[in-house]
A and B are shown apart, each in its own frame.
Chain A
Amino acid sequence: RKEVEQDPGPFNVPEGATVAFNCTYSNSASQSFFWYRQDCRKEPKLLMSVYSSGNEDGRFTAQLNRASQYISLLIRDSKLSDSATYLCVVNSNTGNQFYFGTGTSLTVIP
């Protein structure tokens, strides 16, 4: 079983739409959770950390559900510039290893 699993998509949504991604993880002792964004042929860039109480950064909202072992990312009012691959990242319970999902592809259509 993979440490982190994501729906690869692709998600094709119109501008202005709301889209949500989920990611499940297998290690219940994991302590840190993140969403990264990766543009084609570029490095991953941190989008936001995910906190137990949930957190919001502008149009982006991240949630953590420890009981069901999943994290989610909600993007409101999608922009063309949101088109990218979104990576779910979970660290090991020892803290020094990170596990990446394979990514969810999003295309925002004019």
Chain B
Amino acid sequence: DAGITQSPRHKVTETGTPVTLRCHQTENHRYMYWYRQDPGHGLRLIHYSYGVKDTDKGEVSDGYSVSRSKTEDFLLTLESATSSQTSVYFCAISESNGGELFFGEGSRLTVL
């Protein structure tokens, strides 16, 4: 299995609080992605990174920010969590543009 770890794996928080999810990889892959998965929607891209300090928005980026200061770490931040951000968040990595994605185990976030 690809070396991808997400933390925390589970989190319950209250509306309005900031939340940061961390994705750490040991594969030295250039591309990293954050997805959310909700019933009836499949996985939807939030943000992705194509290198250190190089990031771009996905289709559901509102309310989220990301940072990548090192190849191995990609952080997803919810500045002020809302109940609509209750979801399962998956980090994924890819070695090449358009290449196969490998996923972390997911972070389950509940916003009360």
Contact = CB atoms under 8 A, between A and B. Distances in A.
A106 B43 CA distance: 18
B48 interface: yes
Nearest to A48: B100
Given A4-B42, A43-B104, A102-B41, 7 more contacts: A31-B98, A45-B103, A91-B98, A96-B50, A97-B58, A101-B42, A103-B42
A44 interface: yes
B107 to A, nearest CB: 11
Interface string A17-58: 000000000000001101000000011111001000000000
B102 interface: yes
Given A44-B90, A95-B98, A100 B43 contact: yes
A87 interface: yes
Contacts of A91: 98
Interface residues of A, number: 21
Question: Which among A32, A44, A103 has the highest number of chain B CB atoms within 10 Å?
Answer: A44
Interface residues of B, number: 25
A97 B48 contact: yes
Ranked 3 nearest A-B pairs via Cβ? A95-B98, A43-B103, A95-B97
A98 B41 contact: no
Contacts of B102: 46
A52 B31 CA distance: 24
Question: Which among A42, A89, A96, A102 has the highest number of chain B CB atoms within 10 Å?
Answer: A96
A49 B100 contact: yes
B43 A44 contact: yes
